[in-house]
Structure 1
Amino acid sequence: MRVISIIADLSVPDLDEAKGFYADYLGLRDEEFNLGWVARHTSPDTGAHLQVLTEDASAPMNPVVTVKVDDIDTALREAQRRGYEIVHPLTTEPWGVKRFFVRAPDGNVFNIAEDH
């Protein structure tokens, strides 16, 4: 398994309200997508980006980070082999992502994802 990218996932009460800060103040003007509960904002100049989310649509909690990988099945097997808690099972989501959530030993929850 290879990590392709890591994206901060920030929990916010309201996506539209958050957009003012992240898009206007920080300059992350390009909204790559907005599913109504999660949106990704990206700088058109540098490509720097982050995601804001209110409440995950299909998982029991919000992750702190999304880690995109090139082989989701290997990532899951390795997490299980190491005894890490899987808090959201491997799922192919309607929005085109295959993912699972794993809890790190420090308690942080990571969204491990592969685009399909």
Structure 2
Amino acid sequence: MRVTRIHTDLRVPDIAAAREFYAGYLGLSDESIGMDWVTRLSSPESGANLQLVTRDATAPEDPVASIAVDDVEAAYEEARRRGFEIVHPLTTEPWGVRRFFVRAPDGNVLNILQHRE
């Protein structure tokens, strides 16, 4: 498994209100991914990015980061082999990603995903 991208997930109560700060004040570009509970913002100049999340649509907990990998099945099997807590099972979501949530030993929940082509 190789990590291909990481997005920090910031929990916010209202994406529209938060967008004003992150896009309006900080000048990040809204990449609008077409869902009302999450949006991605980025800096085209630096490549820095983050996601604003009100609540995850299908999982029982909200992750602190979304980590894209090149082989999500291998990542899932390795997490299970190591005995890490799986918070949300390996699932193909309606919006086109295959993902699972794993709890790191420090308690943080991570969304491990792979975009389906």
How does the TM-score come out when normalised to structure 2?
0.95
Q: C-alpha distance in 1, partners of 2:18/2:88?
A: 26
Q: C-alpha distance in 1, partners of 2:89/2:80?
A: 11
Counting matched residue pairs gives: 116
Deviations 1:48-72 (Å, cap 9, x if unpaired)? 1100000100000100000100000
By how many angstroms is 1:107 displaced? Answer: 0.5
Question: Percent same amino acid among aligned pairs?
Answer: 60
Deviations 1:74-113 (Å, cap 9, x if unpaired)? 0000000000000000000010000000000110000000
> Where has structure 1 moved over 2 Å in runs of 4 or more?
44-47
Q: C-alpha distance in 2, partners of 1:36/1:11?
A: 13
Q: Report the counterpart of residue 82 of structure 1 in structure 2.
A: 82
Q: Report the counterpart of residue 99 of structure 1 in structure 2.
A: 99
Q: C-alpha distance in 1, partners of 2:84/2:37?
A: 27
What residue identity is the alignment partner of 2:107? G
CA contact (8 A) 2:38 2:53 kept: yes
More off after superposition, 21-30 vs 70-79: 21-30
By how many angstroms is 1:34 displaced? Answer: 3.6
RMSD of aligned Cα (Å): 0.9
CA contact (8 A) 1:30 1:44 kept: no
How does the TM-score come out when normalised to structure 1?
0.96
Give structure 1 stretches of 5+ with no counterpart: none
